[in-house]
Amino acid sequence: MEAFLYGRLYLVTDRQGLAEGHFLDIIEKAVQGGVTCVQLREKSASDAVFLALAHQLKKRLQPYQVPLIINDRVDIALVVGADGVHLGQSDMQVHLARKVLGPKAIIGLSAEISVENVQAAEVLDVDYIAVGPIFPTSTKMDAGPACGLEGLRALCLASSKPVIAIGGINQHNLASVMDQGVVGGAMVAALMQAVDPYASAQAFRACIDQKLSKRFV
C-alpha cells in the first residue's frame, strides 16, 4: 500500500468527551466521505478504554479497507491487530516498533517542524513522516510554533519520505498546503468537529486528489 494513497486524507481522532457511539459515527461518516487513514489518538484514556475503542474502531473501518493507526502505543496496536502505529520523537524507537509489529506494519513518525528530525528519519524504517503544526492549532496543546507554508516546503525538500502535513489545515488553506510537496493532509478539528463530517471529508478529498493527479501523471 503506497503511502501517498493511504495518507491522502488522514484523520486524527479527538474524542473530547463524546459518547463512544457518536465518536465512532463521526469517524465512519468521514471515512464514507473519503478519509483514507484513521489514527486513534487517546492521550488521557485508560488502557482499558483505549483498547476498547481501538477494537470498536477497527470493526468500523474494516468494511472500508481504511487502515487503523494507533498513536504512540505499540502494545495496543499489536493487541488489536491495527495496521500500524504513529510514533513521536519520545516514543518507542522505530526499529523496536518494526521488530514488534513486523515488516508489513505502517509506521509513521512525527518530525514536528525540525529539519534535523526530518533528515534523521531518512535512515529509519518509517513509511511516512508527519510535520507540523503548519498553522496555529488548538487541538494539540503542546504543539510548537507554526512553520507556515515556506517552512513546510523546506521540510518536504529535506525528505525523501512521504510527508503528511498537520496542524490548522482547513478548506481555506488545504490547496496551498498540497502545493508544498506533501502527499496528504492530516485533519483533527476540521473533521471531528465538522457539522457534516461526510461532506467535509468529500470536499477535502476532492481537493487532495486533484492536486495529486497533476503531480503523479
Q: What is the CATH number of the domain that holds 208?
A: 3.20.20.70
Tell me the whole-structure pTM to 2 decimals: 0.95
Q: Could you tell me if 77 and 45 are in contact, meaning their C-beta atoms sit under 8 angstroms apart?
A: no
Domain count, the chain: 1
Concerning whether 140 is annotated as a catalytic residue, the answer is yes
Catalytic residue among 8, 15, 29, 41: 41
- Peptide bond before 197: cis, by omega within 30 degrees of 0? no
Three-state DSSP class for residue 212 = helix
Q: Which of 60, 114, 140, 153 is catalytic?
A: 140
Domain residues for the domain of 54 are: 3-215
Per-residue pLDDT of the chain (217 residues; tens, 9 = 90+): 456 689 999 999 999 889 999 999 999 999 999 999 999 999 889 999 999 999 999 999 999 999 999 999 999 999 999 999 999 999 999 999 999 999 999 999 999 888 999 999 999 999 999 999 999 987 665 667 899 999 999 999 999 999 999 999 999 999 999 999 999 999 999 999 999 999 999 999 999 999 999 886 5
Catalytic residue among 15, 58, 98, 110: 110
Spatial CA neighbour of 9 closest among 149, 194, 153: 194
